[in-house]
Each structure stands twice: as C-alpha cells, then as structure tokens.
Structure 1
C-alpha cells in the first residue's frame, strides 16, 4: 500500500501564489478511508474507519478470514466519532507587508465535515477535497490569527494559524555629527529608526566603518540607539552609520538589513601653544621681507588655516604642509604710507579653535649714500676721482680712503694700474632704528684697460716629462679685454696640448709659439716641451728654458 501524503498550504512571496493543491489522495484509489493522510499533530488521534471498509481495503484477495482479529485491532487503535479534530498548515507564517499565504484546513472527521476559515483578511478558496480546503489570504497588512473550524456532526473543533507581518524600517537616520571633534574627547552617536516589524527580531547597530560600536534591541516608536566613542586621530574621515537588522532566519526567510546614510567625522589636534613667528623687527620703505609662521603637532595639518596680517592689511600667504606641521610664508612690503610701528599677527585655526602670535614691526626710510667715480672704465695710468656722500642728517665712510671719521662726504684720487682692474669701492652710511644700528652701502667697480700679458708664473716656458706619465700643462694669458691665446708647434702648426695629459705621448714633443692678442696689443712666448723615453726621475730630467719674443 502506498504511504499516504500530507497536504500543506504554501507561503507566498511578493504576492505570487503557489500552485493549487490537488486532492490529498490519488484519484485512482477508491477507498478514502484506507488512504486518507493522518494529521501530524500531537493533539490529534489517528482517524477511525468502519470495520467493513477497513477489511475491504487491507485484506489481500483470497486471504483466510481474519475479520475478528482485524476488528479487535482497529477497535483498539481508532478513536470514537466524537474525537474528530481539525488541523491547519502552516501553523505559523511570516510574510512581507501586503503579501499573501495559502492555508490548508483539514479534518479527521469520518463523515463529510463542514470546513471554513474565520478571518477579517481577504480570502479566497483555492482548492478542496474530502475534509480539506485550501484558502488564499491576500493583502495581509498586519499580524493576524485566522481560525480554521470544522463541524463534524454536532461537534465543532478549531485550529488557528499565527501570521506575522514583517516590514523594513521606513526611516533611518544617524543624527548629525559635530563639524569638528577634538581628539581625546568623547563623542556620542545617536541613531533613530521609524517603523520596522516584528520588533522582537529588529536590532539597531551603530558602526564605524565595518566595526560595530553597539548593538541594541529596537524599543519604542521611533526606536533610538546610541553609543559613545573616544575620538582619536584614526577617526578622521571615518564614516559612521546606523544599521537596522531584521533577522527572520528562524522563520526561514533570511536576514534583512537597512543602513542609514553615512556621516563622516573630522577629528583634530591643535596644541595649546603659540605659533612660531619669524619676522624682521624693522623694515625699510621700498623693500620687502619674508615672514614665516610655523607650528608643529597639528592634526590633520592640511586642514589648518593661516591668517597673516600687518595691522589691518592681510598678507598674501603661501602655506606648505608636512605630516603634522605647517609653514606659512608671506612677504611684507614697506611703503611710505605705513612708515612707523605696526603689529604683525599670525593666527592658526584648526577645527573650532585657534592660536596666534604677534610681533611689532617698524617701517623706516633710509636713503642710500651716493658713490661716484669720475670714470668707471679707464686705461692704465689714468687718474680717477672717487667720491662718497650721504643724505641730509647722515654721515658716510669710504673704503680704501685715508682713515677719516664719519663725515657728510669723503673723496680721494687714484692713479689706475692693471692691479686696480676689478677693484671695488664701497660707500657706507649709518642710521639707528628701534635700537638697531643700520648700515647702507653703495659699491662700484673700476675697470682698467691694459694689454695682454704672458708671465712665467702663468705660462711656464719649458716642460720636460717622462713618456707615459700623467701630467697637467697650463698656459694662461692676462689682459683687459681678455686676450685670445693660441699655441702652435713651429714645425707643423700642431696645437699645444693643454689640460690633463693622461698619459704623455712622445708625439707631443716640440717647440711651440704661444701668442696672446687683444685690441690693446699682442705678446708671444716660446714654450719647449720635451718627452723623455727613459728617465729614472722626473726631477733629474727637468730642464728649464724660456724665451720671450718681442
């Protein structure tokens, strides 16, 4: 005999109905008593069949009569007609708001029972059979307990299904964070959730990135959760969120999450010390000086702002950021309009805090002394007058002049020589400003024109070296303007090899004519280069010979 089957309603998801249920026994079997499925419930007894029906269904054809034994056995096992029960499947259902579910009501009544489903929900009978019916409940918006009933003769039995409706939260919000949070201070996070059911399975989780900070059951409407964290440097730029978790895995429906929009935290550290301000104490009209304001121990340094100002005038500032420090640079200009004393202020702002430093700056006027040369470019032997004078109220001193005290003006005469070419003369003036003694100089250079020179010290006349040694040959001419120097071998016009010779070759040997030439004249000199094939000592082989040609 085939094993009887149990008919059950199916849960619908997203409003889609399950396939309709067929009759609880095969259509080809004619004996419903023998094949009707027993109801699997601890509260129900197995169904009772009549003796004649049971015998006809269970006794094999041609078997010896065992009717008395079968009657005794069935009489002991089957309940009386008044014990018929009704059952419902499923006994519990969890579905989304607005969803639907199939409910199977069945009875163990031997006779034809009257079955029904009592509920305020929208229902539709979808299938039926002997003592069972399948109903579809639609548009379920809230928790409900529909009741299956069975009228079996004069007796009525009841069985209920518990329907739980779930829904995700309608609104989730993590309350705004402070624009800036000091490192080392506590930060309280607060989350609010509206809606969501069933509440027993709804949990609020506060997170920093993926790290859980707190986990709390959703209580009240709206539900609120909070957590307190100690703000650190690592929290800068961290995203904080609030997540609602609806865990329906025990009901076989899965795990649902809904997360609020993230909020980003900015933490900061601003030391309780003043910035370091590097600035001049005095500034001359018509000049500019660099001002540097720096500070360390900042976090994050790149978020710090700098304000540099001279009096009421804000300076154009360039800020360089390092890992935990900054350096702000600005140029302050002295003008006739701001001559006098002014405060120079540097303020560094980070988060909702600031630190500042200030210095006093004195803007002054100091005209330069006047230095004159009767001629700045002269020929050798020319007499030059050098004069130095200052503005009214100032005194000057002239370098290279005969020693004299500071005076309103100083001058002297100079007979120019070649050694005076490139000579610098300096005229100095002095002024006291804000306790500082200042000097201002003016410098000029004298150019003396003279013809070419090829001295022994600058171009040696005789070079004697062993072959294959490393030597250095130099020959330099002097003059103003600078003369052009060429050194050619007498025999073939080959150039004299100057510079590093590594090594000296026999082919370099010979007599060379060196000529220095400029617009102011020309001079020549013979240079002898001897290369020894074998020589025990360079000093022993050296010979000196110099010939100056007119």
Structure 2
C-alpha cells in the first residue's frame, strides 16, 4: 500500500497497461539501479526519478521493507532492507494524468543452508564400486551454484545444482589406497561476473575404510582329542588380510569363548588360545575359529573330543618281602577300559617290577596308561663262581682285570684278604700283574641277612715259569698231533680192509650165480 495521492495507484496489471499505451514524448519514470544482487538479508538504495516537467508524484511499490532517505525535484531515494528473497520492486511516477513505471530486478544470493555428504558404508570391499552422494538444500542463484565431490584434494565430479534438494553423485573404484581417505562435498557460488566474487562452502568430511578378506577359510591347528585335566594349544591363522590390524578373531569351544592372544603382521594374523579339558566339558565339541573384517567373515571348525582316562590301579600286598614269600598283585581299571598285568625282573633277583596297563579307544586311536611298582625281594649274600672266579693264573707283567663281586639284597659288603699276611685282593684293572699279588685269598660277603665265604687262588707266572709253560704246551701239542695222526692211519687201513672184503664177497656171489644157471 503506497501513501495516499490525488492519483490512486492502479493494480500492477493496469499500471503496465498504462505504460504500454503512454504516448510518445510523455514524461517517463526511471530507476537506478535497474538490477541488484544482494546477500540474503542485505539492503539496497533505489533512486526513483521522473522526466515530468511538473512536480511528479514518485513512489516505490514493493512488499519489502523500505524507507525514504532523501528527495528532490522529481526524484526520491529509498532504502530496501532485510531482503530475504528475489524481488521486482516497481518505481512509478504520476505526472499529470499519466502514470509511468520503472521496474528493478533484485536477486538475492546465498550459500546452501544445508550441505551433507551422505554417510559412507562402514566398510568398503577393495575392488568394488563406491557411489558418493552429496545433498544440498538452499543456495541461490542456482544458475551459478555448482556441486563438487572430492577425495582429499582430488576432484571426482563437478555438476550444476539442480532440484531441491540438489544432489551430486560420483562413482569410484575402491582400492587399498582409499583406506582412511577423506571424502567431502563442496558448493561453489560464482558471482564474479556480477563483480561480487567467488564463494564456496565444504561439508564435513567422511572417512572411508576399505578392506580385503580372502575367500579361503582360516588355518586351524587343534588336537583331535583332549584328556580331562590337560590343556592343549589351539592356533588359528590367516594370510592376505588388509588391514590385518582391523581383523577380529573369535575362538570358541562350543558356547565357551576362549581367551585368545592375537599377533598381527603386515598382511596376516595368528591367534592362539589354550583349551582345557574339564569334567564339565567331557564329550564331543565343535571348536570354531571365525575371522571377521569389515562386514564379512570366514570361519573354520574342527571336532574335539574331551575324554576321561583314569590311570589303572596296581596294588601289591607287600612292597618288600623275603625270598620265597607269596605276594598278591591286583590290577584294576575303570569300567570300559581294557587292562593287562605283566611283570619283569632285573638280571639279578633283587626285585621284581609289575606293570598294570589300561587301554582306551578314542576317535579311532588306542591310548595306553601304565602304572609300575617294584617288589623288593630280600635274600642273603651270594658269592658263586659266576660272581667271583676261584682260580686266576696270569703271566707276570701282563695287563689283566680281576672281577669279584657279591650279590644280595641288601647289597652285601665284600672283603678279600690273603691268608698269609691279610693283604687285600687287588680287584679291578691290574696294569701290569705283579708277582707280589700271588697267593690264596679268603673272600667274605656279609649283610644283615647272613655271611658267605669263598677262597680265591691267584697264581702269577714268572719269566722262567712262562718258558716251562711254553715247553709244556709244545710237548702237549706234539703228543696231541701224534695221537691224531695214528688215529687217522688206523681208520684208513680199516676202511681199505672193509673195501677189499666187500669186493671179495661180490666176486663170490657172481661165481655162485653162474654155477646155478642150467646148461
């Protein structure tokens, strides 16, 4: 509504019609500037003037907030403020009975009110296309507004802002190098042609995480069977991961998750855990290893049997007995186990060992457990020929070994003294044998279970004695050779006589046969 005047304002369409039918040479209204570009909420000064020779009535028709700042002969200056959107105010001049109009075009520019790069997927597989989408609300003038999608500082796409909200898109092939990359959307308002400059605004960045999870299953190393009361190590590993440090591992025995330690390398990981066999988890279980990266996972599983295998029980009625005593031996095992009792002894009869063996078949594998106990047999000292040779004859200055040892349980104490001077018997290595060792020795073996004695004769041959021995040996050899030769000759003559006798018998038989044949 304009101020009252002797020439009431006509509606806009009527004013345009009056201007169109104004006669040439009539007074004209004019406005300055004819175009204005303002920031949102800005203000502009508008000068309305008329060429009327008389005093013209000037005004400005607009819904905007206006204020007359100055006036003169046939001109007025108005200030339009708080301009929020595009507008076309109309400057009019009433000169006499005619009215003329002069429009002004006001364009309001503003950066977008809301600009957002739509959320990226939490994880993006390497080698797959990723579509980026930028959404912009507001912003004017749209003809000078451009949407730009960026990866870091790299420009991926540039497109005009169309529609409300305006959307810009770009498609990229995700790679390992995109892990941790920042993507943004930028709005550019270029008003340099209007002499106002270049404006831009950028959205908050969004970071992309790419990953590689091979299509192969993890390698799972685990025992097939596990005994109650024992523990075994389980190892789950996988190669070709990216980024390996982001991968998560789930190791579980049935519903029980295992306490896992994970070691990461450049493109692989190895997870270890200890699985324990308890009475509560006895039976068949599924051991599972799952490796998760991004929004994918791969898993491996193995069957694990937790079994109980108590050791067999071996009992002896007595642990230590005298020789000849009867002892009861029992071998027992749990139900379902096969048992066997066996025994063995040392070379000496000091003791006897009994073994109780139990067998259990688990998953096609036969397992064994043994319990062994020793039965100590007590007996008195023994000093037999096999323990201590009674006669020793050695040449002087030779290297010999004299062995003499008593047996018994408990082990007896052995003393061997020469009868003449009670010198000890030189048991062990004699290097060399001395004449002074010669003599008769009395060996005595003693223990709490008795005493036994034995005489030992040690003869040492001197050098002359050795020559006599050689002569005796040679003579004995000669006699033995003569006896052998005589036996040989006797047998040969005997065989010859037998041969001749057989020939004579054959000739006589032939003669009798010839005489018996009829003529």
Q: CA deviation at 1:136?
A: 0.6
Match of 2:280 in 1: 337
8 Å CA contact 1:166, 1:196 repeated in 2: yes
Q: CA deviation at 1:210?
A: 3.4
Please give the alpha-carbon distance, in whole angstroms, between the structure 1 residues aligned to 2:115 and 2:264: 39
Match of 1:207 in 2: 150
SS in structure 1 at match of 2:111: strand
1:178 is aligned, of 121, 134, 137, to: 121
Per-residue Cα deviation, 1:347-391 (whole angstroms, up to 9, x for no partner): 22222322111222233344568999xxxxxxxxxxxxxxx9987
Match of 2:256 in 1: 313
Q: CA deviation at 1:315?
A: 1.7
SS in structure 2 at match of 1:337: coil
SS in structure 2 at match of 1:219: coil
Q: CA deviation at 1:188?
A: 2.0
8 Å CA contact 1:368, 1:390 repeated in 2: no
1:197 is aligned, of 124, 137, 140, to: 140
8 Å CA contact 1:284, 1:366 repeated in 2: yes
1:187 aligns with 2:121: no
Quick check: 319-328 or 288-297, which moved more?
A: 319-328
Match of 2:232 in 1: 289
Q: CA deviation at 1:295?
A: 0.8
Q: 1:118 to 1:340 in 2, by over 3 A?
A: closer
Per-residue Cα deviation, 1:270-329 (whole angstroms, up to 9, x for no partner): 111010001112222211011010111122223322222223332222222222222111
Q: 1:142 to 1:410 in 2, by over 3 A?
A: same
Q: 1:310 to 1:99 in 2, by over 3 A?
A: same
After TM superposition, the structure 1 = structure 2 runs for residues 503-522 of structure 1, keeping only pairs within 5 Å, are none
Q: 1:369 to 1:201 in 2, by over 3 A?
A: same
Match of 1:91 in 2: 34
Note the residue ranges of structure 1 that are not aligned, 5 or more in a row. Answer: 1-80, 373-387, 396-405, 417-424, 445-550
1:238 is aligned, of 181, 189, 193, to: 181
Q: 1:94 to 1:299 in 2, by over 3 A?
A: same
1:144 aligns with 2:83: no
8 Å CA contact 1:177, 1:189 repeated in 2: yes
1:300 is aligned, of 243, 246, 256, to: 243
8 Å CA contact 1:174, 1:190 repeated in 2: yes
Q: 1:255 to 1:409 in 2, by over 3 A?
A: farther
Q: CA deviation at 1:149?
A: 4.2
SS in structure 1 at match of 2:266: coil
Per-residue Cα deviation, 1:130-172 (whole angstroms, up to 9, x for no partner): 4543211123232122233456778766543221012332333
Match of 1:408 in 2: 342
Match of 2:110 in 1: 167
Q: CA deviation at 1:230?
A: 1.7
Q: 1:116 to 1:279 in 2, by over 3 A?
A: same
Q: 1:124 to 1:343 in 2, by over 3 A?
A: closer
Match of 2:304 in 1: 361
SS in structure 1 at match of 2:139: strand
Quick check: 86-95 or 320-329, which moved more?
A: 86-95
1:254 is aligned, of 184, 197, 206, to: 197
Please give the alpha-carbon distance, in whole angstroms, between the structure 1 residues aligned to 2:330 and 2:193: 103
1:102 is aligned, of 45, 65, 84, to: 45
8 Å CA contact 2:125, 2:174 repeated in 1: yes
The structure richer in helix per residue is: 2
SS in structure 2 at match of 1:234: helix
8 Å CA contact 2:314, 2:356 repeated in 1: no
Aligned residue pair count:
330
Match of 2:209 in 1: 266
Quick check: 178-187 or 285-294, which moved more?
A: 178-187
What is the TM-score of this pair, normalised by structure 2? 0.54
SS in structure 2 at match of 1:143: coil
After TM superposition, the structure 1 = structure 2 runs for residues 414-425 of structure 1, keeping only pairs within 5 Å, are none
Please give the alpha-carbon distance, in whole angstroms, between the structure 2 residues aligned to 1:132 and 1:179: 65
Q: 1:275 to 1:443 in 2, by over 3 A?
A: farther
Q: 1:283 to 1:389 in 2, by over 3 A?
A: farther
Please give the alpha-carbon distance, in whole angstroms, between the structure 2 residues aligned to 1:189 and 1:164: 32
What is the TM-score of this pair, normalised by structure 1? 0.51
SS in structure 1 at match of 2:245: helix
RMSD after superposition: 4.0
Q: 1:297 to 1:202 in 2, by over 3 A?
A: same
The structure with the largest alpha-carbon Rg is 2
Note the residue ranges of structure 2 that are not aligned, 5 or more in a row. Answer: 1-23, 316-328, 374-519
Match of 1:352 in 2: 295
Per-residue Cα deviation, 1:489-525 (whole angstroms, up to 9, x for no partner): xxxxxxxxxxxxxxxxxxxxxxxxxxxxxxxxxxxxx
8 Å CA contact 1:189, 1:228 repeated in 2: yes
After TM superposition, the structure 1 = structure 2 runs for residues 59-78 of structure 1, keeping only pairs within 5 Å, are none
Q: 1:280 to 1:104 in 2, by over 3 A?
A: same
